Structure 1
Amino acid sequence: MSVRRVVTGADSEGRSVVISDGVVPHSHDFKSMPGQSQIRIWFTPGNSTGKPPEAEPTDNHGPVVPGPGGASFVIVRYAPDSVVMSPDFDPVAAGQELQTYAPDLAEVFEPNGMHRTCSVDYGIVLDGEVWLELDDGFQVRLTPGDTVVQLAARHAWRNKTEAPATVAFVLTGVDA
C-alpha cells in the first residue's frame, strides 16, 4: 500500500513551508501474513518541540509506541483471520517479522493476538471490517468511518472477513 505524506514546518524566518512531499518511506507488507501491512507515517518518540527532526529515519524498522508525551501515526492493514488459521501459516516467521519491523509491539503481543501498550490510541477504520476484542471476549464490529479510543486497554484486532481491513491510528504515549 502506498501513501503520500506531506510534512509542513517553518523556515528560518518562521514562515510555514512544505518540508517534504512524497510516498511514506516507512512501509512494510508482511510476507508471512499476506494482506497484512504497516505504514509508519510519523513518529515522535517523546515530548516534542514541534520542530522537524534534523534527519528523519529512512527505514521502516523501529518502534511504533511512543514514550510519554510522544505520538505515532500508523496505518495498519489487517489480513483476514483465515490467513493465520491456514495450515500454511508460520507463526514463528510472523513473530520474527513483527520483531524486525515493530519490535516494541512484538514484545507485548501474546500468542492469541491480545496486547496492551502504554498509550492512548485513536483509530478510524478506513476500509473493510474489523472486530475489536477485549479481555472478557466481548467484540465490537467496526466498519468504515467508525472510530475507537483506547485508553491503554488490553485488546486484539480480528478480521473475520476474507478481505483486508485498514485502520489509521494515532498513538500518544502515556506513563505506565
Structure 2
Amino acid sequence: MDQQQTTFRRIVTGHDVDHKSIIVSDAPPAFTQLIGGPGGPTFFEMWHTMETPALIHPQPDDLDETKLVLAPPKNGTRIRVIEFPPEGNEIKSLTGITAAEKFKTMGAENAFNSSEEGAPHSLMHRTKTVDYGIVLEGEIIMILDREETTIKAGDIVIQNGTNHAWANRSGKICRMAFVLIDGQFTF
C-alpha cells in the first residue's frame, strides 16, 4: 500500500505598503494533524475566514487557532486538505464511543451520529455547512444514509449538510481538498 505523504505548498498573497500585490508566505501548511493515530486521516489546515464578506488585510497571517476544528467559524469559511489512508481494521473496528471521542478532539461532538443501530459507517457525521470536496489524487467512497458512490481524481462533491462518511477501499492514499462554508438548515 502506498501511504507516503507528498509535500505541497500553501502560497498566501497580500499587499505591500504601496498596495502592490506580494507573496506573504510560501511554505508547506503550517498546521497538520493526524486524527485517531495510525490508519486515520491527516488534516492539513490551509486557511479560514472569520466572516462573510471576508475581510481582506494587506498582510494576512494565520489566525489564532491552535487545534484542529472540523467546522468553519460562524459565518466564515475553511479550506483544508485531507489525506485518507486505505481504510484498515483501525477504522472498521471503531466503537460508537471511540468514534465519538475522535469527533470530540475536533470540537465536533455534535456532528457525530453513527451510534445509531445499523449506521452504514462508524464515522457518519453531519455538519451545518455546505462543503465543496475535490478529489486531487486517488479515489474514495462517499457513504450517505441510503447510498454510496465512488469519487475519483477530478470529481467534485457538493455536500449540503448531509449525513456522510468517507471510506478509502482503494489500497492507496486519497487526497481531497475541502472548502467548508458555514450554513444554516432550513428544515
TM-score for both structures, normalised by structure 2: 0.77
Q: Give the aligned partner of residue 41 of structure 1.
A: 46
1:72 aligns with 2:82: no
| Counterpart in the other structure of 1:18 | 23
User: Is this contact kept in 2: 1:27–1:39, CA < 8 A?
Assistant: yes
Alignment partner for residue 144 of structure 1, among 130, 135, 153?
Answer: 153
- Two-structure CA RMSD over aligned residues (Å): 2.7
Structure having the larger proportion of residues in helix: 1
1:109 aligns with 2:115: no
From 12, 16, 22, the counterpart of 1:7? 12
Q: Do the aligned partners of residues 36 and 149 (structure 1) sit closer, same or farther apart at CA in structure 2, a change above 3 Å counting? A: same
> Of 23, 27, 33, which residue of structure 2 is paired with 1:28?
33
**Secondary structure in 2 aligned to 1:161?**
coil
Other-structure match for 2:62: 56
Deviation at 1:67? 3.6
CA distance in 2, matches of 1:52, 1:71: 19
Q: Give the letter aligned to residue 29 of structure 1.
A: L
* Structure-1-length-normalised TM-score: 0.81
Give the one of 84, 88, 97 matched to 2:90.
Answer: 84
Give the C-alpha shift of residue 52 in structure 1: 6.0
Q: Secondary structure at the match of 2:104?
A: helix
Q: Tell me by how many angstroms 1:162 deviates.
A: 2.2
The 2-side partners of 1:9 and 1:120 are apart by 27
State how far apart, in whole Å, the 2-side matches of 1:152 and 1:82 are: 27
CA deviations 1:81-124 (Å, max 9, x no partner) are: 2243566x788666545533x223x4412342111111111111
Identity of aligned residues (%): 27
One-letter amino acid matched to 2:67: H
Q: Is the 8 A contact 1:9 1:16 kept in 2?
A: yes
SS at match of 1:153: coil
Structure 2 distance, partners of 1:61, 1:123, is: 22
